[in-house]
Amino acid sequence: MCARPLRPAPWAISANPSLRSRSRTGYSRCSTQSELQLNHRETEKRMATSARISEAEVYRQHLDQTVEEVFGMMMGLPCSIVEEWPAEERETISAVIGLAGAMSGACVLRAGESVAIRMAEHLTGMEITGLDPTVKDAVGEVCNMIAGAWKGKLPALASACMLSTPTVVTGTSYELYPQRAEFRIERCYQFESCAFSFTIFSEEIR
């Protein structure tokens, strides 16, 4: 009797294609999951960036409103934002208010000598001829009022952010450098013909 050659069983023939099919399906599934995770992370990053931009814009709007209110109520002066920063005077004065808690950074009001004197005259109702302690106190107080009123408008900061007492720096050709500033707002304002800057910087807001 002649022996017929053995044929592979039907399940054996279909087993390898089936395995290959499952393998391909598995790789495709893993690849799809990786792409989805990557897309999800990118979406989260875009949303976080968009949220920070929106948050910063809200904070800027509140700062503009606060400066206008402080100058209007305390000095009877209109004060508005200007796009063009003024040429800096040789002698400048900076008032610094430290921020701690939900924000870790500072608020800085910087003005030239003549602007600071004019600001102090309006605040005190006195005529002032030089950069004396009255001017330094006045600039520190204006910075303090703006910083306090600004954070009070923001529910996330009102009770969760603390302010230090003002520190006043005067001199020529100096700069104030924050160590880290992931959040930063810089604005320039003008009352009468006098312009000054107000800067808020902080590490990431918690």
What domains can be seen in the chain, in order of their start residue? Answer: 57-202 (3.40.1550.10)
Q: Which of 41-55, 80-94, 115-129 has the lowest mean pLDDT?
A: 41-55
* pLDDT(198) > 60: yes
Enclosing H/E stretch for 5: none
Burial of 92 (0-12, 13-18, 19+ CB in 10 A): buried
Give the global pTM. 0.73
Looking at residue 200, what DSSP letter applies? E
Q: How far apart are CA 200 and CA 206, in angstroms?
A: 15
**Apex CA 149: angle with CA 145 and CA 82, to 5°?**
80
String of b and e for 150-170 (b: at least 16 CB within 10 Å)?
bbebbeebeeebebeebebee
* pLDDT(59) > 50: yes
Q: Please, what is the average pLDDT of the chain? A: 80
